[in-house]
Structure formats: structure tokens, C-alpha cells
Amino acid sequence: MVDSANSSASPILYKYVSIIGLRRILEGSIRFTQPSAFNDPFELLPEIIAPIEVEERKIPLSFHIRAQRSGAPTETSEAIPEGFSSSDAMSRDIVQQLNHVIGILSLSEVKNSLLMWSHYADQYAGAVLGFDRTHDFFAGQIPIEYLPKRPRRHLNSYLAGTPIPVSELCVKSLDWSYEREVRVIRNLTECENIGIDSRGFPIFIQRLPTNAIKVVTLGERTTVPDQRDIYARIRESEIALVLAAVDHAGFVFREEIIKYPKPLSVMGPAMSPRTAHIWSELPGTFGELARQLIKQHPMSRIVNRKT
């Protein structure tokens, strides 16, 4: 079940993905990514303060992967004492060790972020998955802490032999706060290695239960063939399907419902001039209705105009 710290939060967590990523998730697997494979070079990278005369070396570390942070704000203003300096090599070594130990699933509390649609969902041609936050698969959620300054840690705090809670390293610059990121972290021994990605990072996955997915929202620029394919994949599931279409006013999307959270054998789909293309090549009454909506509805030419 969901952690008590998150019990008052939104019941849905979101992930912005490309259509290729969406297909993989609908097929039952989701990636847990190593820290260095993320787009932020400061990922899990505290500033380490060490005596100037100490030779930079690999720090023998152990990590507590599922421990929650203490709840107290992370200290960022520890002064650098005389005779000490920041050790970039030791900071980077922490991340390198973590790369061999953990995988991270990054999710968001934000349902409709224009920036995340652009950055992570193939410039609005991808999708956003909505997950059941209370599902056991997402146990151990860690909200990212956003701070104006990079946290500093004294070297001695890492030499005490006590396992380091990875949650206390989940700190990012305020520049990223719009993402409202929530993480699920797993030991790579709990994951399956299925190959290497284009950047040379091993691909680790876990099997995702279909009932953890509540809704798929397709992007404004998702192609009609991709819309049809995703619709076909989930038509007999309890996953809702929605299209995020540019609204008539403001910098917002309206939700065009395609499928309700019921199998189509139980509840039929919804159709509008904007979504009718999904069924427009079907034979029979339903296909004919779709073609009429596209051709004759007074809003069809407006809502189907490319942006």
C-alpha cells in the first residue's frame, strides 16, 4: 500500500513517455534507470567536503535503498572549514557506485505539464500514463526534495560504516521543481537485465501488473495509426484512454474521452470529431458514424486542423 507520508497526495502518479515506451509498458515491463543515465548531471551527487591533504579515493559505501528520509529539511549551508575543500572525484564516485546498485523509476504528481509533454513525451506525440499510486508495485515512494543550493556532506559522514539512505540523496535544484517528481527505487538484483541502450547503459526492467495502470492519455500530436494501435491494445482492459487536445482557449488541453475504464464488451467507446479517425476505416455502422463525424460535423475542420 501507499506510504503514510503520501496518504493525502493525489491517488494517481504520472509518467510521460514516447509511444515506443508506452507500448513496452502496456506489454508488461517498465524500466528502472541508473542515476547517470538521467538527464540531470547532478543526479544523486552531493558535494563532499574532505580535508585538503586527504588523497581522493574510492569510498567504501553501503546503501539503504528503501529507507525514507528523516523528514527534517536537508542541510545545504554547512560551511567549508579551513583546511577542507569540495572533492568532485569523491562525489562522482558515489554516483558510480550507485550505478551498479540501484535503478530508479521516475514518476510525477503533475497530470498535464507542457514542459514534460515536450521533453519526455516526444513533443506531444507520445503519451502520459496514470498509475494507481496505492498499488504495491509502487511501495517505498520517495518525493524529490527541491533546494536552492546543492547539499554538502562531510566525508566523515560516509566513513562511519552506516548504510546511506538513498532517499537522502534524492535532492534536485529548484529549476526542476515543476516536475514534482516521485521516485520508486529498487536494487538492480530485483530487476531483469534485457540489454544495452543506445548510450551504453544496461537496461533493467521489472514486470508491471496491468492493473497498476489506470489511464493512458495520448498527446495532441499522436499519429492516427498510433492512436488506433494503442486503442486496440487496451480495448478489453480496464484502462481508460483519453486524448489531450489543444483547448479552445488558454495554454491548456481538454480531455477527449476515447474509452472508459471498462472493457469495450461492457461499455462502448466515446467518439467525437477529434477522435473519430480511430474508427474511420472500420466497416459497418460504427465506421460509418466515424466517417460522418469527420466529414459533416461543424467542428471537425477546426479540431482536426494541425498545429
For residue 307, pLDDT over 50 is answered with yes
Rounded Cα–Cα distance for residues 257 and 239 (Å): 12
16, 148, 245, 269 from 96: Cα distances, Å: 26, 24, 42, 49
Instruction: Report how far residue 249's alpha carbon sits from residue 188's, in angstroms, rounded to the nearest whole number.
Output: 46
Q: Is 231 among the domain residues?
A: no
- 6, pLDDT greater than 50: no
Rounded Cα distance between 298 and 177, Å, is 42
Kindly report, residue by residue over 171-220, the tens digit of the pLDDT. Answer: 999 999 999 999 999 999 999 999 999 999 999 999 999 999 999 999 99
Rounded to whole angstroms, what are the CA distances from 88 to 9, 58, 62, 85, 154? 36, 12, 19, 9, 13
Please indicate, yes or no, if residue 111 is contained in any of the structural domains. Answer: yes
In this prediction the pTM is 0.89
* Residue 306 scores a pLDDT above 70: no
- Phi and psi at 21, nearest 5°, equal -65, -40
* Between residues 301 and 69, the one the model is more confident about: 69
Answer whether residue 19 is part of any domain.
yes
Q: Which domain holds residue 15?
A: 4-210
The tally of domains found in the chain comes to 1
- Residue 56's pLDDT is what? 65
For residue 109, the model assigns a pLDDT of: 97
pLDDT in tens, 123-159: 999 999 999 999 999 999 999 999 998 888 888 777 7
C-beta of residue 63 within 8 angstroms of C-beta of residue 102: yes
Q: Is residue 59 part of a domain?
A: yes
Handedness of CA 267, 271, 275, 279 (dihedral sign): positive
Per residue in 222-276, pLDDT tens? 999 999 999 999 999 999 999 999 998 899 999 999 999 999 999 999 999 899 9
Asked if the structure places residue 216 within a domain, the reply is no
pLDDT of residue 77: 55
C-alpha closest to that of 141 among 170, 115, 121 = 170
- Whether 64 is in a domain gets the answer yes
In this structure, what C-alpha cell is assigned to residue 2? 501507499
C-alpha grid cell for residue 283? 466497416
- pLDDT tens digits along 20-71: 999 999 999 999 999 999 999 999 988 888 888 766 666 777 889 988 887 6
Tell me whether residue 246 is in a domain. no
Residue 301 lies in a domain: no
> Regarding predicted confidence, which is higher, 96 or 237?
237
Q: What is the secondary structure of 18-46 as a DSSP string?
A: -HHHHHHHHTTEEEEB-GGGSS-TTTT-P
